[in-house]
Amino acid sequence: MQNYSRLTTTATQKINFMRFKYLNLDTEQKVTTITINRPEKGNSLSPDVLIELHSAFESIAKDAETNVIIFTGGEKYFSAGFDLSEIRKLEKVSNESYTELFHKAYRAVLFCEQPVICAIGGPAIAGGFDLTMMSDIRYASTRAKFGQREVPLALTPIMDPLWRIVGLGVAKELALTGRIYDAEEAERIRYVSKVFPEGKLLKNVGEIACEMASYDRSCLVETKRLSNQLLHQDLDSSMRIQEWLFRTYIGSEENHLRIDALQKSLAEMRQKKSK
């Protein structure tokens, strides 16, 4: 029986950008980009890839210099999903540690403190699709393909949070048919927010992420936390939570600084137009 339990990350651990074999990490302007780098296997999710993903996201979540995360597989792939050669080695009586690897990676992305933007440059299938689902925002290129191929392999798919994103009826149809669909349809069903031309995805997503990363970090974190929390509240409770959170920020020094900067910018624009 294989042992896939090498998941260790401590609260004080610093990100070591050189220790990952299957991930490339880069930080610029408070944006950390995590790129799956296993192109010879279509970025398929071997145990080692899953271990590295869990470790990377757990570490970056504690990095005060990262405001936004871009999660990608590059312009050609996202991830082909499960490494089928690894699954074929498993027996039902000894599958617990391998299954746990997937869900630890999923949860590390889903519950990462900072906003996670998924840039999907190519196929995102089965477990690869599930990873895109765990991100907060999804953008795709025209070459991207999507599909939950678990049911055709006699496996059960991840339905939550998919149904929260596209609705229960659409989620059922996608999961039960296991069909592959393109980026245009993914945008139409609101799974991705926008589709960019092939080869232009990372440039455009990078610009969006840098703009977001210039915002107040704590406000980004609280807004993400709020969006997840509201799913489980009645309307009255949601309104009260939002009122309390708004009071936490309005009138703060950071709030005043950003208002001053905006007003100065608007005044300069008006002055230019008047000339």
The residue type at 231: L
Residue 134 is predicted with a pLDDT of 96
Residue 189 is predicted with a pLDDT of 98
Taking every pair of Cα atoms in the chain, the longest distance, rounded to a whole number of angstroms, is 77
Place of tokens 């220790």: 19
154 sits in the region (left: phi over 0; alpha: psi -120 to 50; else beta) called left
| Short-list 249, 23, 219, CA closest to 114 | 219
Q: Where are the alpha helices (DSSP H) in 61-121?
A: 84-87, 96-110
| Cα three-residue angle 174-49-142, rounded to 5 degrees | 45
Angle between helices 235-249 and 217-229 in degrees, nearest 10: 170
DSSP 114-162: S-EEEEE-S-EETHHHHHHHTSSEEEEETT-EEE--TGGGT-PPP-TTH
Residue 3 is predicted with a pLDDT of 43
Q: Is 195 strand, coil or helix?
A: strand
> Mean pLDDT for each consecutive 10-residue tract of the chain (275 residues)?
39 54 95 96 93 95 95 96 79 77 93 97 95 97 96 90 95 96 98 97 98 96 91 83 83 87 88 83
CA dihedral 103, 105, 106, 112 (to 10 degrees): 130
Residue 238 is predicted with a pLDDT of 80
CA dihedral 244, 250, 253, 259 (to 10 degrees): 150
Residue 15 is predicted with a pLDDT of 55
CA dihedral 61, 64, 65, 71 (to 10 degrees): 10
Question: CB–CB of 47/101 below 8 Å?
Answer: yes
